[in-house]
Amino acid sequence: MSSPVESRRAEIVNTVREHGHARVDDLAQRLGVSIMTIHRDLDALAEEGLIERVRGGAEFIEPEFAETNVSTRRETNIAVKKALAAHVAALINAGDIVALDDSTTVEYCVPDVLEARPMGIITHSLRVMQQVSTQAPQVLLTGAGGRFCHETGSFLGQATCSAVERLNATVSIVSTT
């Protein structure tokens, strides 16, 4: 579960991305917080490289190919992620073996995937492993281990790649930036 600060900052990033810019006073009014709170949020987001601070507000900067903070990504574009998740179930048949990546978009798909009654799930995402093991313990769960990366909440590296190369899935659900 994300904190109110993380949720608010994700909303700021969404607003700046959607409009290309945002003013401090508009953000404060929209989010129901003080102007100083927005200034602190914008400073923190600028330090993470998610926005650019400008006089009176912030502007969107086209990110380089890099992962943003996973907590921020979980709270970004939620409506789009839920809409995609709703369509995923149509790709899955009962008895399928489904490979799920470590993206926050795919995390939103897990309940729909489980409703489709797959026989097994393959993933390198710790959060997906936790969701599957608690929501559907009858589903065969295969975790692709390796070096755990706290920033992405997943297992990465050569050991993970080697494990995945030996596995076969009927359906693979992968997200990309």
Residue entry with tokens 């492993």:
129
Q: Are 142 and 122 in contact (CB under 8 A)?
A: yes
pLDDT range class, residue 65, cuts 50, 70, 90: very low
* Residue 71 lies inside a defined structural domain of this protein: no
Query: Are 53 and 86 members of one domain?
Result: no
Q: Which domain holds residue 81?
A: 77-173
Indicate the residue among 13, 32, 66 that finishes a domain.
66
d(CA 166, CA 169): 10
Residue 50 has pLDDT above 90, yes or no: no
Residue 93 has pLDDT above 50, yes or no: yes
Name which residue leads in pLDDT, 75 or 177.
75
The predicted-structure confidence for 94-140, as pLDDT tens digits, reads as follows 999 999 998 888 888 999 899 999 999 999 999 999 999 999 999 99
CA distance readout (Å), 4 to 31, 51, 99, 176: 11, 19, 32, 26
d(CA 121, CA 136): 10
Query: Which CATH number do you get for residue 57?
Result: 1.10.10.10
Indicate the residue among 66, 89, 110 that finishes a domain.
66
Question: Cα(first)–Cα(last) distance of the chain, in Å?
Answer: 22
d(CA 129, CA 149): 15
Q: The whole model's pTM is what?
A: 0.61
Question: What is the DSSP annotation of the chain?
Answer: ---HHHHHHHHHHHHHHHHSEEEHHHHHHHHT--HHHHHHHHHHHHHTTSEEEETTEEEE-PPPS-PPPHHHHHTSSHHHHHHHHHHHGGG--TT-EEEE-S-HHHHHHHHHHHHT--SEEEESBHHHHHHHHHH-TTSEEEE--SEEETTTTEEESHHHHHHHHT---SEEE----
Indicate the residue among 33, 66, 99 that finishes a domain.
66
Q: Are 98 and 173 in contact (CB under 8 A)?
A: yes
Q: How many domains does the chain have?
A: 2
d(CA 171, CA 91): 8
